[in-house]
A and B are shown apart, each in its own frame.
Chain A
Amino acid sequence: MRATRLAAVAAGTLLLAPACGSSGPGSVADRKSLVIGVKADQPGLGRRGPDGVYTGFDVDVAVYVAGRLGVPRSRLRFRTTNSSVREAALAAGDVDLIFATYSITARRKKAVTFAGPYYVAHQDTLVRPGAAIRDVRDLKGKRICEVTGSNSWRRVVEEREIAATPVTAPTYGACMDDLAAGRLDAVSTDDLILAGFAAGRGGKIINAPFTDEKYGVGLRKGDLEGCEAVNRALTRMYQDGTAGRLLDKWFGDSGLKLTTSVPQFEGCT
């Protein structure tokens, strides 16, 4: 009977239809393995050793979060992700998550979904021990480090309008050498970065923070489920004391005032 056969064909087509919808790239919340973008040149946060192994606070936090998402360390891959390529790397799917001193800003939120922040760093200032610099205003007339490609010096000279003299250096590591050699009076940037570079070098962080840098976890734009899962992992990381332990492990000797209470999350958008 033709009508019946027609019905069977029609039903078959319709039955298949719902199964074809709702694809698209999955959430990091249900991934078997993960690629994590980190910095390679920031001691204490993310540094790639000569053996190719990444170490630092960012790396440890990433391992903890991935573990809470159900991905063990053996199925994690780290990839060096410099500041300029972070948005592109996420959009292209080269990395699934970014833990790389990635400050949450309104502008970046247009292209990236941010979980966290997992820590709120503050711009602070590193000086030689015994120097008479107590807050950012004391930098007036002093020589501060201007690292190529970093905006930290602008926050002093332009945003705060303090007449300090920027002296260029290629990296923060070079700034530390210049500071020790007396070619500079102060290095001003995120306190965690200062603490990482200062470790074992004998500089003094003045503990006069003047900005909030919300270090977020970058996810592909729109992965709200993954973002919420990461936030739950970060909440747990602070509740079970892991965050305090990791902060102490990497920055405990720096003399920096560390916050061991969970930061205010940005909200997943």
Chain B
Amino acid sequence: MTTTRRRPVSRALPPVPPAEPETRAVTFARGRWLRTIPGQIRAYAVVALLAVAALLGVLTMAVGNARDSVQTIGHDAGPQVVATSALYFSLSDMDAQVANILLIGREHRLGIGYDESLRLYERRRGEAVAAAVQAAQLAGRDTDLRTTVQEVLQGLGRYERLVGGAMLLDRQADHAPGELPKQVIDAYRQATDLMRLELLPKAYNITLDSGAAVRQAYETKRSAVLSGRTWVAVTGAIALLVLIAGQVYLTRTFRRLLNPALVLATVVTLTLVLVGAGLLSALAGHIRTAKQDGFDSVLALSRARAISHSAFADESRYLLDPGRADTYEQTYLDKSLAVIYPDMGARPVNLESFYAAVNGGIAGYRPGDPDPFLGFFGDEARASARGGASVNFAEVLRAYRVVLDYDRRMRDLAAKGDRAGAVDLRMGRTSTVIRDFGTYDASLSALTAVHQRAFDTEIADADGGLRGWTALPPLAGALIAVLVVAGVRPRLAEFR
């Protein structure tokens, strides 16, 4: 569009004589037509339409990426990954119920009771299988992940046979609470070792691995949306410059003030670029918040909950198998530290230091504290401060302190040799420990629900933002195209 050298100003300029049909292509290639005003106008119209088409293409692609991202995190893989985390919880709770049943022996009404434990065991078994099915679906063509799911299901069959054997021996022994004969302990050891050393790690890894796939999809799609936004800005700027340049050209060439159709096309393009880029920014924000404050937190809290239940069951195991009391005390400490790791300074890492440090750390904790403690609750301290769940989180911490306090008292009794007293305390005969653990569990669920709501809101907002964006860009594009053509046609007509 270089028109500076020979600017045709006169309307009286004679139209170009029509070229010979056989030499038309040659004429076109030589570009002589570009020196004529109608040629320039036509070329301009083509450039303008191409610029608008580029903008549309980029915008449609970016919106498509955003749509995929919302679909994956909000509707498909995201919720499914959360569902697989039930696998670890249900398996872990099955073994916890077995430990309770064996611990209480013939006193069927101790704790939550023999019947209730058995009912929970069956229920968790059903939930575990359902979660495994979810995980298998999620695995898709990932053969390694599918193999792991299969191994868990096969292992579950073996585990149930071992548990059946232990329960039978237990009934035959008809023992007092906490006084298990050696053969029952040995049979339970086989079952719980299978569960704790093989099945639970695999179940945990399944959720980690499928969560990793969601994280990768999130990273890729989100950066695609953000670079899409840049490209919308770039192509938008080009389209706008072309439209403005056309306006200037027509003004100078035809000595008119403004071309209303082109002005309108410019305004529509500008609006489309601004609204489109704004939408992409908003979507990227929704996706990030949904992922970080929703998905990640829900997953982390579901792990913290499963690990807390598993640690609570380690108390039963600690009481029922004195030969392994040291091991179960250590696993209790390790699991507790995974949940909350307070600053213990130079003190040795044992339960005694842990109780003291947790009490100090929780008492001194204020929401907004950037680095109060490590572990799941350390991450949650930051997430809840961001997501306005500080009150719920404080409630979780308060309830957890009560749970830990009972643990300390139970171990004190056991260490003094009062095993019956320890069993009575743990099973709630002389305490409210089961109800208090329930309170802790409920507070964790309430906190999880806050993050789940945040997740749902963000995804609903993203869905709402995307609504209509299938039809809108092509419609706007068609409108701009019509306006460009409407803007140049009357000028072309002047040469007919």
Contact = CB atoms under 8 A, between A and B. Distances in A.
B492 interface: no
B278 interface: no
B148 interface: yes
A113 B331 CA distance: 23
A6 B241 CA distance: 9
Contact of B331 (A106, A154, A212): A212
Contacts of B331: 212
A123 to B, nearest CB: 9
A14 B231 CA distance: 8
Nearest to B1: A4
B234 interface: yes
B237 A1 contact: no
A3 B241 contact: yes
Interface string B219-254: 000010001001101100110011011001100000
A18 B228 CA distance: 9
Contacts, number: 110
Given A1-B4, A3-B241, A106-B375, A14 B349 contact: no
Contacts of B248: 1, 3
Nearest to A210: B326
Given A11-B234, A154-B348, A135 B208 contact: no
A231 B201 CA distance: 13
Interface stretch (A59-67, A241-249, A259-267): A259-267
Interface in B156-190: none
B245 A231 contact: no
Contacts of B212: 224, 228, 231, 268
Contacts of B230: 14, 17-18
Given A109-B374, A159-B349, A1 B2 contact: yes
Contacts of A4: 1, 241, 245
Nearest to B3: A1
Interface in A209-267: 209-212, 224-225, 228, 231-232, 235-236, 239, 259, 261-265, 267
A19 to B, nearest CB: 10
Given A1-B249, A212-B331, A265-B208, A15 B234 contact: yes
A7 B200 contact: no
Contact of A224 (B215, B234, B249): B215
Pick from A14, A21, A136 the residue with the most CB of B within 10 Å: A14
Contact of B201 (A1, A106, A263): A263
B197 A259 contact: yes
Contact of B244 (A3, A225, A262): A3
B216 interface: yes
B330 A212 contact: yes
Interface in B376-428: none
A74 interface: no
A73 interface: no
Main secondary structure of the interface of B (DSSP, over half): helix
B242 A7 contact: yes
B204 A265 contact: yes
B234 A225 contact: no
A210 B327 contact: yes
A264 B204 contact: yes
A23 interface: no
Interface string B280-306: 000000000000000000000000000
A228 B200 CA distance: 19
A161 B347 CA distance: 12
A155 B327 CA distance: 13
Interface string B124-156: 000000000000000000001001100000000
B329 to A, nearest CB: 9
A160 interface: yes
B205 A110 contact: no
Interface string A97-133: 0000000001101100000000000000000000000
Contacts of B202: 261-262
B197 A7 contact: no
A1 B242 contact: no
B369 interface: no
B341 interface: yes
A177 interface: no
Contacts of B348: 154, 158-159
A107 B204 CA distance: 22
Given A106-B337, A209-B327, A225-B216, A1 B245 contact: yes
A11 B238 contact: yes
Pick from B144, B212, B231, B338 the residue with the most CB of A within 10 Å: B212
A84 interface: no
Contacts of B337: 106
B177 to A, nearest CB: 25
Q: What are the 10 A-B residue pairs with the smallest beta carbon separation, nearest first?
A: A7-B241, A264-B201, A158-B348, A106-B374, A14-B234, A106-B341, A261-B198, A228-B212, A159-B350, A159-B348
15 contacts: A1-B4, A6-B241, A7-B238, A7-B242, A11-B238, A14-B234, A18-B231, A22-B223, A106-B341, A106-B374, A137-B326, A210-B330, A261-B197, A262-B201, A268-B212
Interface of A: 1, 3-4, 6-7, 10-11, 14-15, 17-18, 21-22, 106-107, 109-110, 135-137, 154, 158-161, 209-212, 224-225, 228, 231-232, 235-236, 239, 259, 261-265, 267-268
Given A209-B327, A261-B201, 15 more contacts: A1-B1, A11-B234, A18-B231, A106-B375, A159-B348, A160-B350, A210-B327, A210-B330, A224-B212, A228-B212, A235-B144, A262-B201, A264-B204, A265-B208, A268-B212
